[in-house]
Amino acid sequence: MGASKIIDYTEEQILVAKYAKALSHPARMAIMQLLLSKHSCICGDIVDELPISQSTVSQHLKELKEAGLIRGQIDGVSICYCINEPEWSKLTELLGHFFEKRHVKTNSCC
């Protein structure tokens, strides 16, 4: 009968979902925008910019780091965060590819 009952999700689906999840909270979006907007890196200023506590910001930073989207480097007593350029390129390419070229025509049923 049905052609293809999939066994599992594709690598692409898993990867895009991972990136999407990393960006699925306003605080993490705000952090990424901050890091993208500054030409130099930011440290604990992030905490000052966000409307949440230091520990919560740290948690969000950890998630972004684990997703590979940002990196941190010790700079004296502070830590300097910035975009992880190679991974960010991968993300933009993937999402760009996914969200740009799709042209949906109005379908018959909806």
Partner DNA sequence: ATCATTTATCGTAATATTACGATTGATATG
Partner DNA sequence: CATATCAATCGTAATATTACGATAAATGAT
Q: And the tokens for 67?
A: 């997703």
Stretch that binds DNA, among 33-41, 46-54, 82-90, 92-100 (CB under 7 A): 46-54
Q: Are 81 and 38 in contact (CB under 8 A)?
A: no
- DSSP reduced 3-state for 6: coil
92 binds its own copies per the rule CB under 8 A: yes
59 binds DNA per the rule CB under 7 A: yes
Q: Are 46 and 58 in contact (CB under 8 A)?
A: no
Contact set for its own copies, span 24-83 (CB under 8 A): 24-30, 33, 36, 39-41, 45, 48-51, 71-73, 75, 80-83
61 binds, among DNA, its own copies, none (CB under 5 to 8 A by kind): DNA
47 binds DNA per the rule CB under 7 A: yes
21 binds DNA per the rule CB under 7 A: yes
27 binds DNA per the rule CB under 7 A: yes
CA 41 to chain centroid, in Å, comes to: 17
Q: Which of 78, 56, 60 is nearest to 70 (CA)?
A: 60
